[in-house]
Amino acid sequence: MTAPHGFRTSGFGAAAAAAPATGDLLQAALTLRSQGRFEEALDLLSGPGDFPADVYTLRGDLLTELGRYADAAGSYYTATVSAPRNLSVRSRLASCLRLLGRWEDASQAFQAVLQADPHRDAIRLELGDCLLRLNRPEQALNCLDQCWSDAAQRQAIFGKGVALQQLRRFGEAEIAYERVLALDGKAEEALANLIAMSLEVFDLERVQRYSRRLLEINPRSVPGLQGLTLVAVERGEMGAAARHFATLAEQAPEVLRSTRSSDGLDAPDDIGASDEIIEYRVNRKALDRMKELILGQPARPAARRY
């Protein structure tokens, strides 16, 4: 893996001579970090000079906490050149690459860490995520199957559900998501995926059941409202469809609002062309009917602002 752009990969010859001063610098930076003064801590470690891996590692930690993942990756990479066997630093570099969306580089970095220490479930979970994003569900399934700790089980089972869903092994995926829900009854992401999977096979009963369960947890859930809207449209219950659709428009106007309406003009802010997000068997006529029903309802009072 090549070095992230803009960071040095050598120059540690004077580190030993500067050890006492470096130790004081690290302690001062750690004190500032404990006080939440990340920028000041970073400034202490950003002067010219050659530093040991600990300094570059702490710089990477501070940059990560500040959300500067590209810079953090560069700092961690520099630390790995000085300390190539430091698995903690290598895993932090891999995590930064994942946060940057560099899935291939991240997966290779995670695999290298696991080759040295195969018992790191936290690393295996992150690798599984990268493999799923790379559309390699078989590899992800094999990776997540190897998670052994109790702490990793919920996330690993969910990841396996996603992999099985990508492989269109829907029955097994449903079992995995239900296991997630048994561990955490408020796992919204599991219910949202169950809704999406039920839409794939167009099972309206399941769509309705999972949508209702999701809305019991979160009445503002967009996937739950989408699911109930679709079910109502398919059953010809246009009044109910309009109510769900109106709530959906209130909760997620940025999702519902399309940049262009059906006549090619800019869509109005209150009701956009929403067929992009309710895309299973919902035709333009049904959407237009829902909009007519919504527009025919009395206006609701504006929310108070204090």
Is the CB of residue 160 less than 8 Å from the CB of residue 144? yes
Q: Is the pLDDT of residue 225 over 60?
A: yes
Query: What local confidence, expressed as pLDDT, does residue 288 receive?
Result: 58
What mean pLDDT do residues 199-217 have? 94
What mean pLDDT do residues 1-18 have? 43
* Residue listed under structure tokens 């590209």: 70
Listing DSSP states for 213-264 in one string gives HHHHH-TT-HHHHHHHHHHHHHTT-HHHHHHHHHHHHHH-HHHH--SS-TTS
Query: What local confidence, expressed as pLDDT, does residue 250 receive?
Result: 86
Q: Is the pLDDT of residue 219 over 70?
A: yes
CB atoms within 10 A of CB 153: 15
Q: What are phi and psi of 19, to 5 degrees?
A: -55, -50
Alpha-carbon span 1 to 105, nearest angstrom: 7
Q: Is the pLDDT of residue 48 over 90?
A: no
Alpha-carbon span 104 to 164, nearest angstrom: 21
Query: What local confidence, expressed as pLDDT, does residue 248 receive?
Result: 87
> Mind listing the pLDDT tens digit for each residue in 101-154?
999 999 999 999 999 999 999 999 999 999 999 999 999 999 999 999 999 999
- In this prediction, residue 20 has a pLDDT band, given cuts at 50, 70 and 90, of very low
**pTM, to two decimals:** 0.75
> Mind listing the pLDDT tens digit for each residue in 177-191?
999 999 999 999 999
> Mind listing the pLDDT tens digit for each residue in 257-298?
543 333 332 333 333 333 333 333 444 555 555 555 555 544
Q: State which CATH number among 1.25.40.10, 3.30.70.260, 3.40.50.261, 1.20.1050.140 fits the domain covering 22-100.
A: 1.25.40.10
> Mind listing the pLDDT tens digit for each residue in 57-109?
999 999 999 999 999 999 999 999 989 999 999 999 999 999 999 999 999 99
**What is the residue type of 81?**
V
By three-state DSSP, how is residue 149 classified?
coil
Query: What local confidence, expressed as pLDDT, does residue 12 receive?
Result: 37
What mean pLDDT do residues 23-51 have? 86
Q: Is the pLDDT of residue 47 over 80?
A: no
What mean pLDDT do residues 206-233 have? 94
Q: Domain spans of the chain?
A: 22-100, 202-298
What mean pLDDT do residues 233-244 have? 90
**Interacting residues of 303 by C-beta distance below 8 A, sequence separation 6+:** none
What mean pLDDT do residues 209-218 have? 96
Sign of the dihedral defined by the CA atoms of residues 188, 192, 198, 204, in that order: positive
What mean pLDDT do residues 12-28 have? 61
The residue that leads in pLDDT, 7 or 74, is: 74
Alpha-carbon span 117 to 240, nearest angstrom: 55
Query: What local confidence, expressed as pLDDT, does residue 302 receive?
Result: 41
